[in-house]
Structure 1
């Protein structure tokens, strides 16, 4: 209601929304309320969900006018320039829109994008209250604090079957000089000295890592960096470790996903697990807090392969880890594989009913209780390790907060566990 009131008072001709699929169920309600107070305004949807389901987004929401499936900097500008002539939208390559009769239309051609990320302006932080975001949990798994996020590349060349990259498979980078320029701007404007990198793969280009680290050190900026989403473990070597740690990196996340060599190949993750483990160990020896991500329940995955994931994660140098059950999001190769090979697995699956905690969907051929018990077992085996808890307390930025919340987390993660 507060959102709609604010929009009504502002009375924009165009309202832009962005959403991931886990929030997609809220879109129809929000759009409906906007249309009640501003019936002639255009409502535009972008972001991951729009890029995944494309024209389907218009079918899910009657009041939605336009879908921008991908990077929107150029296309949204063209939409604004087209207003109020809806017919002019037909000239925007790759745009999805609803004509005056209500018919969904997908324009031919690719959506126009900016190839050189250095040409994009800095985000318009002046339009939001940055301090409100410091009260919320960030992607880095530590309590709220003063920080800002950076995305310094777009695209990922890897083919992981569960992933839908709205930026495509060709990777584009902001230059080290441009990254530092943005950091200096944010540091001077907001007094922030901690930054999260949210790139899909920050260390894919090692030379860029080395150059950026050199620039930060030469300026003696005394910054802190975390990588809750952005480090591929099997691309980490001693030189990368030195570059990251010497510039102020204190936290990295590493995605194992599965410990099974067969599942690594099946899912096209193709992680070099020995190199991955070496990368974690090198970072941990430099005092970096290492968080991990694992996925359990891929199609055809066996009990033995689930146990492989538990064994590798629990025997690694990771300080913390999350064990997620696999969710087949629309627009991913996994979703398409299931439609062809295991359509029955999607019969009762509604992506509008999931959230960040996951969904009770079982893509394996194992009984539900077996899969979900392995998930609980993974948390138990991983965290019920005195040495791991001791090591975590030594590197965690806010150890008193950790002592407060760890028992609650462990209870929720392991209740109803039956350890085999």
Structure 2
């Protein structure tokens, strides 16, 4: 018998492109999590129809959602977002509920997984899926079909019951991730991403996204732990089969891996890279998200190269061991520096650094900048000011009062990366120096030093350009610099000036 839930709308809520906000384009990728949900439900309920909408592909997303609601008439709506898009997530949820008050709205992904209490209490959603969603969403669809109403007893969810937030038993992660169907790419049009780049600085209309493992054993304070602490890897054959389907069906040869920590366990990562090198010659790999820097050995770096790796991102965050321990990352900085030195010479490498941690001194932040300056082959070193999110470990550590909490909420709306002449809008200005020693004037000075010694350092630009030449053609190099400098009109003449 066909399920009562026949039509489901899934919306990936990104920052609206109409705002002109760099983050709406800079960090946008295909809604792979929603595509996984759809394929998993369709494997159980083949008659169920899905529509997947990504707000980043639209200049008028609410108008488009209204059209979908009117023409598709979904009986269930799922919304997903990162915390950076919380304001627009809330606005979207209110908008949908105003038009379809009887249709259950389910929230999932990083933002609802940590802020479920505020979303449920505020009436934005009817249920929050916490953490990994496939098995939970299948049960939600099944029970709504059986009961005709939104259930309140499903593992892995939170609901509002009698005016109180009820958190149900945590759902165990899916152990055999090979059994999860491939994400259903037939539900999106990759051409909709024309003109949109992703956080690997690749054209989202010319690549596919791969999740070869789930989970991360580390506990970095600023990361979402969506998939838990245990690493669950797909078999190498399973991953290659998905990649081959993209090559055969869509002519895609450019892949972006989204694992939280791709290179753990190292042996499994090496096996996958070996198989890709043999089975899929000519593909290009990008790793903009999760590589554990101090676990990159020479053999692994060689295998990245053999498999066709073009780009990787390495997150160091801070050069201070004390702060490494504070943030839960605990990098072995000696091993990390050795790996970065080799990787930056071979791949287009982005290095992530953060300043503005609670308790961080000016000298400690300065040491982080000095560390970044030691890698002249890094194609894109990036410095961010720490952002404090509600319900995060740093938020709990700071224990903000009402005024400080409002200031933190305002900071969430600002861009992640520093610009030279922009207002810093730093949360530390609202806390005493014993909690946050750095203040906005300190950050402005640090930004100047960063720009001078790292970002626009002539030696770095020349040496990193030599790495770009190994992987990109002339037009692709110009596109890279247009993205890095956020300057769409960046020309070959300007590049020549930089390289003199």
Residues 402-413 of structure 1 aligned to structure 2 (within 5 Å): 402-404=480-482
Contact 2:157 2:167 in 1 (8 A): yes
Task: Quote the residue 1:19 is aligned against.
Answer: 81
Task: Quote the residue 1:372 is aligned against.
Answer: 444
Contact 2:214 2:227 in 1 (8 A): yes
Contact 1:250 1:289 in 2 (8 A): yes
Alpha-carbon spacing, 1:133–1:79, altered in 2? closer, same or farther (3 Å): same
Task: Quote the residue 1:32 is aligned against.
Answer: 94
Of 313, 321, 339 in structure 2, the residue corresponding to residue 261 of structure 1 is 321
Deviation at 1:134, TM superposition (A): 4.5
Matched, 1:68 2:129: yes
| SS of aligned partner of 1:395 | helix
Task: Quote the residue 1:401 is aligned against.
Answer: 479
| SS of aligned partner of 1:203 | coil
Of 355, 359, 362 in structure 1, the residue corresponding to residue 427 of structure 2 is 362
Q: How many equivalent residue pairs?
A: 404
| SS of aligned partner of 1:96 | strand
| SS of aligned partner of 2:275 | helix
Alpha-carbon spacing, 1:386–1:222, altered in 2? closer, same or farther (3 Å): same
Give the superposed CA RMSD. 2.3
Alpha-carbon spacing, 1:337–1:86, altered in 2? closer, same or farther (3 Å): farther
2: CA distance, partners of 1:273 / 1:375: 23
Task: Quote the residue 1:238 is aligned against.
Answer: 298
1: CA distance, partners of 2:391 / 2:176: 26
2: CA distance, partners of 1:374 / 1:86: 58
| SS of aligned partner of 1:377 | helix
Contact 1:8 1:37 in 2 (8 A): no
Of 377, 385, 389 in structure 1, the residue corresponding to residue 457 of structure 2 is 385
Deviation at 1:360, TM superposition (A): 2.1
Contact 2:215 2:229 in 1 (8 A): yes
Contact 1:209 1:243 in 2 (8 A): no
* Unmatched 5+ stretches in structure 2: 1-62, 418-423, 429-435, 488-500
Give CA deviations for 1:48-105 in whole Å, capped at 9, x if unaligned: 0011112221123x24211111111111111111226366613312322245x6x354
| SS of aligned partner of 2:173 | coil
Task: Quote the residue 2:173 is aligned against.
Answer: 113
2: CA distance, partners of 1:381 / 1:218: 42
Give CA deviations for 1:229-248 in whole Å, capped at 9, x if unaligned: 12111101111111111110
Contact 1:234 1:279 in 2 (8 A): yes
2: CA distance, partners of 1:406 / 1:268: 29
Task: Quote the residue 2:409 is aligned against.
Answer: 350
Deviation at 1:347, TM superposition (A): 5.3
Contact 2:218 2:229 in 1 (8 A): yes
2: CA distance, partners of 1:169 / 1:46: 19
Matched, 1:165 2:165: no
Contact 1:24 1:352 in 2 (8 A): no
* Unmatched 5+ stretches in structure 1: 410-420
Matched, 1:312 2:312: no
Deviation at 1:32, TM superposition (A): 2.4
Residues 176-325 of structure 1 aligned to structure 2 (within 5 Å): 176-285=236-345, 287-316=346-375, 317-325=377-385
Contact 2:349 2:379 in 1 (8 A): yes
| SS of aligned partner of 2:378 | coil
Matched, 1:77 2:149: no
Contact 1:22 1:352 in 2 (8 A): no
1: CA distance, partners of 2:393 / 2:297: 30
| SS of aligned partner of 1:202 | coil
Residues 321-336 of structure 1 aligned to structure 2 (within 5 Å): 321-336=381-396
Matched, 1:52 2:114: yes
Give CA deviations for 1:334-359 in whole Å, capped at 9, x if unaligned: 2221228x997545211684244367
Give CA deviations for 1:375-406 in whole Å, capped at 9, x if unaligned: 34313321222221112222333222245566
TM-score (norm 2): 0.76
1: CA distance, partners of 2:412 / 2:356: 19
Of 87, 95, 100 in structure 1, the residue corresponding to residue 157 of structure 2 is 95
TM-score (norm 1): 0.89
| SS of aligned partner of 2:151 | helix
Deviation at 1:218, TM superposition (A): 2.3
Deviation at 1:30, TM superposition (A): 1.6
